[in-house]
Structure 1
Amino acid sequence: MTSTTNSPDGRASGEVVLDVQDLVKHFPLTTGILFKRHVGDVKAVDGVSLQLHKGETLGVVGESGCGKSTLAKLLMRLEEPTSGRAIYKGENIYDLQGKALRDMRRNIQIVFQDPYSSLNPRMTVGDIVGEPFDIHPEVAPKGSRRDRVRELLDVVGLNPEHINRYPHQFSGGQRQRIGIARGLALRPEIIICDEPVSALDVSVQAQVVNLLESLQDEFGLSYIFIAHDLSVVRHISDRVAVMYLGRIAEIGSDAEIYEKPTHPYTQALLSAVPVPDPSVRGQRQQIILSGDVPSPANPPSGCRFRTRCWKATDLCAEEEPELRVRSGSDHPSACHYATVREDVVVQH
């Protein structure tokens, strides 16, 4: 894990490589066939602000449907935002066009969740890993591309002699390594990992996470690591942002989030993490949340978590809590009654 110090506002110190400011993505809901009428919006991402620092890993966690993957697509410009900015090298990436956009995409790459569907089954591994060079020929001249692909396969722990094989001839973990090699091909500065290990066996997950850590050290990469498994996120992340219904509920260093959680949602997530030690397990209290996750098309007023929260009062329904540092805490939390709860923490 990269060493990164935190300031009192929960942000790591050091050079900011990506500054996300109040990012919003609403998907319109319509009715009718011939004459469509706008009847509402799915608020997938609804005001997310965060910073990624050079050489760090920022983990983004939350339940399915909280907006994590939509956030990843927005940062790659695979989706256009409803509003908001993402500043990379002094420019808003949503203003870029043509060559400037291609240059940005060269420096911000993605590793997708499913290694079975993210690789073209009709292409060899050599063609898959080398395809970025067709779009950015300046990175590797034609005469050296095959050697470059072999180097990339070797770097991610695959046999370079398997360059002519097809994806179906590899295991799930090996396919994800192919996806990582493709992401590394253009020597990016940032890699967005969209649940890269969720489709893999536990033993293979550890191997892929260890590979990502070693590549970060070797190439000076910055990661945004999206996942729903809190134990995986803690292993690799310097800082963690917890998302709920399109917004960040809490953000801080891994120690702050896992040892001093202040938001009730974070506390509930941590209480559900399995603990192998029976003596420790007996000391922890599991928090069972009531009800279901509200629809992002019709989120609750005020605090979005209040319908499932044991601390909720009339204030929570009337006033949306800001993401800020509160009394008795050392990192930002979006809760009016944020307090540390130690009976749910996850020990190393």
Structure 2
Amino acid sequence: MAEPVLEVEGLVKHYPLTRGVLFRKQIGSVKAVDGVDFTLGRGETLGIVGESGCGKSTVAKLLCHLERPTAGAIRYRGEDITKLSGKALKAVRRNIQMVFQDPYTSLNPRMTVGDIVGEPYEIHPEAAPKGDRRRRVRELLDVVGLDPEYVNRYPHQFSGGQRQRIGIARGLALRPEIIVADEPVSALDVSVQAQVINLMDRLQAEFELSYVFIAHDLSIVRHISDRVAVMYLGRIVETGTDTEIYDHPTHPYTQALLSAVPVPDPDARERRERIILSGDVPSPADIPSGCRFRTRCFKARERCALEVPALAVPAEFRYATGPAVHDSACLFAEELRVVPAEEHGNGPG
């Protein structure tokens, strides 16, 4: 793996549940993120996938320090940013920027495009001389594929894809090293998704960016990611390269997700066996004992309720070789080819 620029260790975010009006008493907590570990290499894209409510967006907010973690460490180039404040935190934030999910609510409707993209220079004046900011804003609009003459227009005058390009331009303004993209294409049409994903691919090479790319669309994540982490109920349950996760999954939850991916070939679709999970996702305020996936798992046994599986190479594969040898938090991990490699689409583009 490339030199790590971001290291996340034991990341936890619990939201307290309280009762009472005058005398509020904590009666529990919502465990949105409950012990997440990963690293991000320089110039690498880490894709984070999972069902809605699994904690992906909370991880994104924690990485950008929009939320304070309950516990754990987020190290940017060896420095734990969770302990920073004031000028030190402001300096780090310049290097970790975010692209938000909804291009319709993440842009201020009362500000022009020029003011939106140029706002980071007001917060970090050292990044650009005052007389040079307008020129830089126009250059950024050109870089993301928009006409520089649009600087005086307002967000409502643009389509969803154009608005997301504006959000990307704002994220690039300070020349960050890391971009945290929280489902940046989920609100866009499929054809526009492809354009935005290809744009982000090009910008990564041009600006030497590292991405944390969060999404629930597995085909998009495979297209853009070098490594993939699968989240379930606040924890990462499987992680590996895109080939390891998509073609050689070992965790039952990953296998169930992949079995739901649409296959363009009707014959292959008929031959494929769908994995249907029973029940609903448990509440993050009442997480099951042992393996948190066991209440919906088709492999669950009595041992699963007693032991918490570690995110590591399963015992069955420790002396093996090949793409099935990667970290998986399952006591009964087993490789299962859900969608044959040749039947995968190439994703956007």
TM-score tier by shorter-chain length is over 0.9
> Which of 121, 133, 139 is matched with 2:127 structurally?
139
Q: What is the match of residue 327 of structure 2? A: 332
* TM-score under structure 2 length normalisation: 0.95
Name which of structure 1's ranges 236-245 and 93-102 shifts more when overlaid on structure 2.
93-102
- Between the aligned partners of 1:277 and 1:316, the Cα distance in structure 2 is 37
Normalising by structure 1, we get a TM-score of 0.95
What's the counterpart of residue 342 of structure 1? 337
**Distance of 2:297 and 2:267 partners within structure 1:** 28
Q: Which residue of 2 aligns with 1:212?
A: 200
Other structure's SS at 1:316 match: helix
* 8 A contact 1:271–1:345 mirrored in 2: no
Please state whether the residue corresponding to 1:147 is helix, strand or coil.
helix
What residue identity is the alignment partner of 1:147?
R
Aligned mates of 1:52, 1:268 — CA distance in 2: 26
Aligned position for 1:77: 65
Amino acid at match of 1:130: G
Q: 1:35 aligns with which of 18, 23, 43?
A: 23
- Which aligned pairs between 1:44-193 and structure 2 lie closer than 5 A? 44-193=32-181
Asked if the contact 1:283–1:343 (Cα under 8 Å) also holds between the matched residues in 2, the reply is no
Residue 285 of structure 1 corresponds to which residue in structure 2? 273
Q: Once the two structures are superposed, what CA deviation does each residue of 1:247-273 show, in whole Å capped at 9, x if it has no partner?
A: 001000000000000000000000000
* Identity, % of aligned positions: 72
Distance, in Å, in 1 between the alignment partners of 2:77 and 2:44 is 17
Name 1:257's counterpart in structure 2.
245
**CA distance in structure 1 between the aligned counterparts of 2:111 and 2:60, rounded to whole angstroms:** 25
Runs of 4+ in 1 over 2 A off after TM superposition: 343-348
For structure 1, the 5+ residue unaligned runs are 1-12
Instruction: Measure the CA separation in 2 of the matches of 1:272 and 1:310.
Output: 15
Contact conserved, 1:129 with 1:181, CA < 8 A, in 2?
yes
Separation of aligned partners in 2, 1:273 and 1:78: 32
Q: Which amino acid aligns with 2:158?
A: F
Tell me how far 1:345 sits from its aligned partner: 4.7
Residue 283 of structure 1, CA deviation: 2.7
Tell me the amino acid that sits aligned with residue 153 of structure 1: L
* Structure 1 counterpart SS, 2:62: helix
**What is aligned with 1:8?**
none
Counterpart amino acid of residue 342 in structure 1: R
Any idea what the Cα deviations from partners look like across 1:89-112, whole Å, max 9, x if unmatched? 221001112211011100000000
1:49 and 1:132 mapped to 2: Cα distance?
30
What does residue 288 of structure 2 align with? Answer: 300
Structure 2, gaps ≥5 residues long: 318-323
**1:325–1:331 CA contact under 8 A, matched in 2:** yes
Q: CA 1:179/1:330 → structure 2, altered by over 3 Å: closer, same or farther? A: same
For 1:89 and 1:137, locate their aligned partners in 2 and report how far apart those are by CA, in whole Å. 23
> Cα deviations across residues 153-198 of structure 1 (Å, max 9, x unaligned)?
0000000001000000000000000000000000000000000000
Count of aligned positions:
336
Structure 1 residue 344: deviation in Å? Answer: 3.7
Note the aligned Cα RMSD (angstroms): 0.8
Structure 1 CA distance, aligned partners of 2:70 and 2:340?
Answer: 37
